[in-house]
Structure 1
């Protein structure tokens, strides 16, 4: 059954042509593989790019991270919910309040200091908070939300 008369259906996302590096599931309105939104590197690279410089609890000194804002990705897939469950390649799972992404410029990093993140070193994607810009982000509760080796997001 399609949408009611006069109501446009959300257009589908383009299909990935390369290896899928990120899957988004749950309460999303735009999909490209069943009820999922799957992305390859080129698709993620088409999102608006930003960078941030910050320290981390697992690296030395200030690092430059390049990538895209989590809120831009979630808006692109039509996410609607209160929590995003982030799942990593190493089976690490954590629930992140959706409000984090509107309150802070949370980045999904694809590179650090100009080097592409690889699974052997926190890649292919790493959720990075602008911890040096906000005192409250230097709390251990936020450190747990820095998910490296990110491969899946579930919106609830």
Structure 2
């Protein structure tokens, strides 16, 4: 009985909390947020990290006052690029499609020169914006014509076509993608 009373009280208390701070309430989005861009961004559509609603970000020690959040539709509205890199997992070429990372950053009003791209498992490689542009990184939403599933490499993957760049193609295939977090959900833009 006390457990039931506690749960009812928690539900009533949660209903009284103001909306709008968490990623789930990002302005202008209809679907769940898949990618949050923080740091040096000028076009924001959500408020600060909410440690209650943004559990994974809080557990990974992220903090921010403002951000630009993207749902699948917002990413799909950006021009898509298709690449065909040889992937390290099976050493075969696969088709990946999604917007250029540069276009995602532009939509967020990013003004920094470095990026920390964070995956759901906490992996967070850093890359310069100039390198992300040079190698034409994309935020892949599709693999071989299908949306990339959560639990696989998605739903988002920051990746590039290593086969197209001599300096990267010269590396063993299992060393080409260290800067490419799959399960991407957060990008911190650093000045």
* TM-score (norm. length: structure 2): 0.71
The range that moved more, 83-92 or 54-63, is 54-63
Q: Is residue 22–residue 40 contact of structure 1 (8 Å, CA) maintained in 2?
A: yes
The equivalent of 2:163 in structure 1 is: 132
Q: Structure 2: give runs of 5+ residues left out of the alignment.
A: 1-25, 48-65
Rounded to whole Å, the distance in 1 between the matches of 2:130 and 2:90 is: 26
Q: Deviations over 1:64-120 (max 9, x none)?
A: 001110001111111111210011111111111111122121111111111210111
Shift of 1:47: 0.5
Pick aligned residue for 2:139 from 108, 131, 139: 108
Stretches of structure 1 lacking an aligned partner (at least 5 in a row): 1-12
Alpha carbons 2:97, 2:140 under 8 Å: kept: yes
What does residue 180 of structure 2 align with? 146
Q: List, as ranges, runs of 4+ consecutive aligned residues in structure 1 with deviation greater than 6 Å.
A: none
The match for 1:44 among 65, 75, 88 is: 75
Task: Spell out, residue by residue over 1:124-155, the C-alpha distance to the aligned partner (whole angstroms, 9 max, x if none).
Answer: 10111110100212347652111100000000
**CA deviation vs aligned residue, 1:8-67 (integer Å, no higher than 9, x gap):** xxxxx9521111100000001100002110111011110111111111212331100011
Q: TM-score, normalising length from structure 1?
A: 0.86
The structure that has the greater radius of gyration is 2
Structure 1 partner of 2:44: 31
Aligned to 2:88: 57
Q: Greater share of strand residues, 1 or 2?
A: 1
Paired with 1:148 and 1:106, the residues of 2 have a C-alpha distance of: 13
Equivalent in the alignment of 2:128: 97
Q: Considering only aligned residues, what root-mean-square deviation do their CA atoms show, in Å?
A: 1.6
Once residues 15 and 50 of structure 1 are traced to their aligned partners in structure 2, the CA distance between those partners, rounded to angstroms, is 24
In the aligned structure 2, how far is the partner of 1:40 from the partner of 1:65? 18
Q: 3-state DSSP class of the match of 1:66?
A: strand
